[in-house]
Structures are given as structure tokens and as C-alpha cells.
A = this chain, B = another copy of it.
């Protein structure tokens, strides 16, 4: 049976909506070579600030990941066997954008909804809040932390079951970040799993629908806690060059790749990196636990996501014990600085587009962890990384 698609909703073609909200081998009649344990469920949350939040649970068999169309197609969290993939944020549940005022808290209101395994920072801007003096107009100059896209809902949502190869089950959402006299950026995001595999793939395309050139900043804030993060966990990355974001990060530069356990009073540290990549322009990092039998691997297209930031936030469990692995078009500095460094992308008018792809793989054996380490070592090669011990231009403003 060929590829089948089902529209969950589409603001532009309401009549085309499917009746199904549970998709599996039985309800779709689709048999996939990778196995028949896959499923997709569409549901809505109830209660508190989660009221009305939509969730799509994509299950490959061994792995399930929950996508949030209401929150910019972010990944809420996943599970594998009996273990969670994600982190325990003080914000316990997915927050409907109606309850997030991005301009509140001195422009840090974004934190009121921050709890995902993966959320996008962008599309017009990311980084800290402030007034961007280099913006085209007042419509674009008032920046709030990490931009708008994580609090925008999809206006169209479609499930696809593709039987090519081992098969693939996917959900695609489309989100507009658009205003009059300002940016008109469209994100089309597909999140998919292959039956039987412990892997999540994200493929995003951003289009500029406006009649003039548009700016793009896009960073994937991928946030990981236990069981991958713990005392003695280690980050394996094919570093070409690394610099601490600020003085606080410089204090820990010698231990940039290892992690503390939950530490009362710990203050966050961030490192900016230029990673090496393979001939296909892909690169990869791995967070492995101390025992070396759990690994969280991220692989992505370095050609379109050349900047990599590591956010270490090994504070008390109660406050959110977490690390961020963050591939981006840019480093999460204030937009005007990134523009000056040439790290703000420009999309041409009338459909200029930008495509990124990210794969998250979960290792649950020592062998799998070792294989990922070997792959990263192959990318890294023999050359020593350049390690800056203090904040360094052009990574940070100094």
C-alpha cells in the first residue's frame, strides 16, 4: 500500500479533515517493513495552563515522542522502555500560548512555558530581550527572549505513513510567524520515526513569504536531564574551536565536557563551539551517562546549523537539572551582535527558504554508546581543538 496521509486539521481546508485520531496498523491498514508496533495518537490536554494544548504521540515501537503542535511543533518529551527522555522543568506541563506573555518579566516571559525536550528559538530572532537598534522598524525591534515561534500554534497538521524502506510515520505541522509591515516566515516541520528504531528525525523548512528580504535566526534548544545527565556525564563533540560565553562560563572551561550532579546555588554556564563535520556536512554530539550505558545523540546538518551552544544548568533537581545541546544558525547572543558577525541569515523575497535537519538517537546499551562515540571521533579527526579560556570575539561580544 502506498504512502497515506491524513489531515488532522487545516485552517485552509476544513472540509478535508480525517476522522481518525488514532493511527496504527489496524486503523490505517498500513503494514510497514520496520514493524507493526508503531502508532500515532492525537489528543488534547485538559486543565490549568495546559487546557487545549494539542499533543501528537509518535511511537516507533521502542520509542515514543510527544509533539506539541500548539507550541510551535516543539517536542514535549519522549519515553523509551520505562525511562523518560526530557527533563523536569519547574513548569510542569505544556503551557498554552494564551498563558504566556512573552513581554512580561522584563521580556523573559518565554520562561513561563519552557519545559520541552526540544523547542525552537526564532524565527525572526532569538537570544536575550532588548531593543534591536538595527531592526527595520519599531514593528521588529522589541525583542523578547528566544522569539515567537515556540508559542505559535500550527494551522495545519497532517499525519503521514510512508511505506518506503522500513517505513516511516510522521507528523507535519505548518506555522506562520507573520504580521503586517513585518516578517512573514512560514515553518513547515516534519517530525518522524522509523518503526523499530530509537530515533527521532526533525526536518524543518522556513520560507520567506514577504515581498522583501527577511532575517532568520533559528536555534534548537534541546534539553536533556536524567538518565542521560548525571554526575560524571560527559559530552562528546567534534570540537574545532570552543569559547566560554562569559566570565561565569570561563570558570569552568577546563571541565566544559563533564557534568556535575545537582548542585545547590549552581549558576548556568554556556559554551559556544565550532564543530567539525563530515563530508556530507553533518555533525554529531553525544551526551553519555557516567556508566556509559545511556546516550543521547544529536546529529544535524552543519551546513545550515553551523553554530553549536552547550548550556550547562546542573542546578537543584527542583529548579530544573538540565543541559541544553543547541545547534543553531547563530549563537544565542543579542540579535544585533549576531547580525554584525554575519550570523543572521537572510532569505530572499517571495519564497526564499532554509532547510534544517536534526536526528535525535537514544542509546540504551554500552555498545550503542561506544558506536556513537566512535562516529564522533571519526568526525573530529586528529587535529586538536582550539580552546579559548576567556570569552572571545566573534563568539561573544568582548
Residues of A at the B interface (CB closer than 8 Å) are 9-12, 14, 17, 45-52, 89-93, 97-99, 101-106, 108, 111-112, 114-115, 138-142, 144, 152-157, 175-176, 178-182, 184, 209-212, 264-265, 315-320, 349-350
Residues in B neighbouring A46, C-beta threshold 8 A: 9, 11, 14, 17
The answer for the CA separation of A308 and B318 in the assembled complex, in Å, is 34
Closest residue of chain B to A178 (Cβ to Cβ) is B90
**SS class, residues of chain A in contact with chain B:** loop
Pair A49/B180 contact, Cβ less than 8 Å: no
Residues in B neighbouring A11, C-beta threshold 8 A: 45-48, 50, 93
Residues in B neighbouring A102, C-beta threshold 8 A: 101, 104
Pair B103/A180 contact, Cβ less than 8 Å: no
Q: Which of A11, A14, A104 has the most CB of B within 10 A?
A: A11
Residues in B neighbouring A103, C-beta threshold 8 A: 101, 103-104
Residues in B neighbouring A153, C-beta threshold 8 A: 47-49, 51, 99
Closest residue of chain B to A70 (Cβ to Cβ) is B51
Pair B47/A91 contact, Cβ less than 8 Å: no
Pair A211/B264 contact, Cβ less than 8 Å: yes
CB distance from A109 to the nearest CB of B (A): 8
Beyond A138-B106, A152-B49, A154-B48, is A212–B175 a contact (Cβ under 8 Å)?
A: no
The answer for the CA separation of A209 and B103 in the assembled complex, in Å, is 25
The answer for the CA separation of A265 and B136 in the assembled complex, in Å, is 13
26 examples of A-B residue contacts, CB within 8 angstroms: A9-B47, A47-B156, A47-B157, A48-B154, A48-B155, A49-B152, A49-B153, A50-B155, A51-B52, A90-B182, A92-B176, A92-B178, A103-B103, A104-B142, A105-B139, A105-B182, A106-B141, A106-B142, A108-B139, A111-B179, A180-B319, A181-B319, A184-B318, A210-B316, A211-B315, A211-B319
